[in-house]
């Protein structure tokens, strides 16, 4: 009898949640030119608005990772999606910079459990040799939500106004919640999968019960050099991601003299490359593991190559041909997402038992400090220098350093022992 494949339905739910998550973030960037004109916002004020989300989002990562490990993904995700969807809708009512900054900060709290929850679900529902592609699928939701929806959002903004864009995208998340609560189970054994699939998931893995037991404190994880490599790597990826997420449509309108609708459609190609990069990176890292590579080693090579490709943003800053500029940006985002699938998959390989949610939160905290910096620094640089060139170059340099960190510092195994835990990472 052929085994069931319920684990892949769960992965698709994570993909949808991630797509909704990033669509709700991206609507600000697409609405940017209209909001700036309607509310009389400067580039610096709009950069501040883009940054406000990440103040709370990053700060919540360490406690929320622990919450995921203690409460479980089902309840955590249900509450989180409801929270951020309502905040997205309420953004439409904003008329002052103070109110908008406040609601974006609240939205950051709501979205904070997403990636720690995704990582925990992948660990519980999939064996190690399938986690690369599983992480690639859900991280592809970043590209789908952030970029492939931009033409639709631009059409809504052009025809119904920026307020309608926030209301419609926020409402989509509320539709996802009952599907998740009805279908998903924290323990795969409580789902409708057959014993063959359950045995396959748990082959050569700790059981879910064992995985839940850990006395390791979050700060003890900082003893491990590999964890620092991963945290900086996500910071570099997120710097490029959040700069593009907040500023790409505005960049095309202001720097490349496009209409908002044309900017929406021309934003598609970079995010198509990003989607392909996420899937291909996950597939290749899993294939290397099946060919006998160590898990950390396979993720490392994928992450290094991806961040080298992200350097394409630098020539993209200087070319005068718009099509060539978009091509370089596309290669850069594709490389970043190629690396990103490994960035999340590797956590299950280096985390002590029962700490993957905490570790994901810790990594996401450091990674999302980039969200504090990238939007507002980009706005400041554009305002003072009258160009996006320096902002694009900075993102490329940060990514290039990540490639060096991955290649020279990230090791294929670790020997850190935790006195409160029986394992090593």
Residue 311: what pLDDT?
98
Q: What is the pTM of this model?
A: 0.80
Is 6 within 8 Å of 193 (Cβ atoms)?
A: yes
DSSP, residue by residue, 99-119: HHHHHHHHHHHHHTTHHHHHH
Tokens coding 390: 């320096």
pLDDT exceeds cutoff 70 at 36: yes
Residue 66: what pLDDT?
82
Q: What is the pLDDT of residues 267-309, one digit of tens each?
A: 889 999 999 999 999 999 999 998 999 989 999 999 999 999 9
Residue 423: what pLDDT?
43
pLDDT exceeds cutoff 80 at 122: yes
Is 45 within 8 Å of 99 (Cβ atoms)?
A: no
**Whole-angstrom Cα distance, residue 9 to residue 177?**
15
- Across 127-141, 234-248, 253-267, 411-425, least confident range: 411-425
Q: Which domains does the chain have, with CATH numbers?
A: 6-408 (1.20.1250.20)
Is 352 within 8 Å of 206 (Cβ atoms)?
A: no
Is 121 within 8 Å of 135 (Cβ atoms)?
A: no
**Whole-angstrom Cα distance, residue 307 to residue 406?**
9
**Whole-angstrom Cα distance, residue 26 to residue 248?**
10
Residues 104-125, mean pLDDT to the nearest whole number:
92
Q: What is the pLDDT of residues 321-352, one digit of tens each?
A: 999 999 999 999 999 999 998 898 898 888 88
pLDDT band at 256 (very low <50, low <70, confident <90, very high): very high
The burial of 342, by beta-carbon neighbours within 10 Å (0-12 exposed, 13-18 middle, 19 or more buried), is given as buried
Cα distances (angstroms) measured from residue 273 to each of 136, 269, 278, 326, 375: 13, 6, 9, 11, 22
Task: Give residue 55's region: left, alpha or beta (phi > 0; psi -120 to 50).
Answer: alpha
Q: What is the pLDDT of residues 350-397, one digit of tens each?
A: 888 778 778 888 898 899 899 889 988 999 999 999 999 999 999 999
**Whole-angstrom Cα distance, residue 425 to residue 343?**
16
Residue with tokens 């392909």: 276
| Burial state string for 145-170 with b = 16 or more CB within 10 A and e = fewer than 16 | bbbbbbbebbbbbeeeebbebbbbbb
DSSP letter at 145?
I
CB-CB neighbours of 198 under 10 Å: 18
Residues 201-224, mean pLDDT to the nearest whole number:
67
**Whole-angstrom Cα distance, residue 317 to residue 204?**
47
Residue 337: what pLDDT?
93
Is 20 within 8 Å of 171 (Cβ atoms)?
A: no
Please enumerate in sequence order all residues whose Cβ is within 8 A of that of 361, keeping only pairs 6 or more positions apart, or say none: 61, 62, 63, 64, 65, 66, 68, 116, 218
How many CA atoms does the CB half-sphere of 224 hold within 13 Å? 28
Residue 251: what pLDDT?
94
Residue with tokens 């505005």: 250
62 or 21: which carries more pLDDT confidence?
21
- Measured between its terminal Cα atoms, the distance across the chain in Å is 37
**Whole-angstrom Cα distance, residue 390 to residue 311?**
14
Of 56, 25, 58, 18, the closest CA to residue 340 belongs to: 18
Q: What is the pLDDT of residues 395-425, one digit of tens each?
A: 999 999 999 999 999 987 655 555 554 444 3
Of 136, 412, 397, the closest CA to residue 285 belongs to: 136
């Amino acid at each position: 009898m052929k085994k069931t494949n319920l684990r892949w339905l769960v992965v698709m739910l994570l993909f949808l949640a991630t797509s909704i998550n990033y669509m709700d973030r991206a609507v600000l960037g697409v609405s940017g030119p209209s909001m700036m004109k309607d509310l009389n916002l400067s580039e610096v004020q709009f950069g501040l608005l883009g940054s406000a989300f990440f103040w709370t989002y990053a700060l919540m990562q360490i406690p929320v990772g622990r919450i995921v490990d203690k409460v479980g993904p089902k309840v955590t995700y249900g509450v989180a999606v409801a929270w951020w969807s309502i905040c997205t809708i309420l953004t439409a009512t904003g008329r002052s910079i103070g109110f908008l900054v406040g609601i974006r900060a609240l939205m950051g709290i709501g979205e904070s459990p997403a990636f720690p929850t995704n990582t925990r679900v992948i660990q519980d529902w999939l064996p190690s040799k399938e986690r690369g592609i599983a992480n690639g699928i859900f991280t592809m939701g970043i590209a789908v939500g952030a970029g492939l929806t931009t033409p639709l959002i631009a059409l809504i903004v052009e025809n119904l106004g920026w307020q309608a864009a926030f209301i419609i995208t926020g409402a989509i998340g509320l539709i996802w919640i009952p599907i998740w609560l009805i279908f998903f189970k924290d323990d795969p054994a409580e789902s409708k999968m057959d014993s063959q699939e359950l045995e396959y998931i748990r082959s050569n893995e700790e059981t879910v019960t064992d995985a839940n037991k850990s006395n390791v404190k979050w700060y003890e994880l900082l003893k491990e050099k590999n964890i620092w490599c991963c945290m900086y790597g996500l910071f570099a990826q997120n710097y490029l991601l959040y700069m593009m997420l907040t500023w790409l449509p505005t960049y095309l309108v202001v720097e490349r003299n496009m209409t908002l609708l044309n900017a929406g459609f021309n934003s598609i190609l970079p995010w198509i490359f990003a989607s392909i990069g996420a899937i291909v990176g996950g597939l290749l890292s899993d294939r290397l593991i099946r060919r006998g590579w160590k898990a950390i080693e396979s993720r490392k090579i994928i992450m290094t190559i991806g961040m080298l490709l992200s350097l394409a943003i630098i020539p993209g800053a200087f070319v005068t041909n718009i099509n060539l500029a978009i091509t370089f940006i596309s290669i850069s985002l594709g490389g970043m997402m190629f690396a990103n699938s490994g960035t999340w998959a590797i956590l299950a390989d280096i985390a002590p038992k029962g700490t993957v949610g905490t570790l994901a939160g810790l990594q996401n905290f450091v990674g999302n400090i980039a969200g504090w910096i990238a939007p507002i620094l980009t706005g400041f640089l554009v305002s003072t220098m009258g160009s996006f060139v320096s902002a694009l170059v900075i993102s490329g340099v940060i990514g290039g350093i990540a490639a060096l960190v991955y290649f020279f510092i990230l090791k294929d195994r670790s020997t850190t022992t935790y006195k409160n835990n029986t394992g090593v990472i």
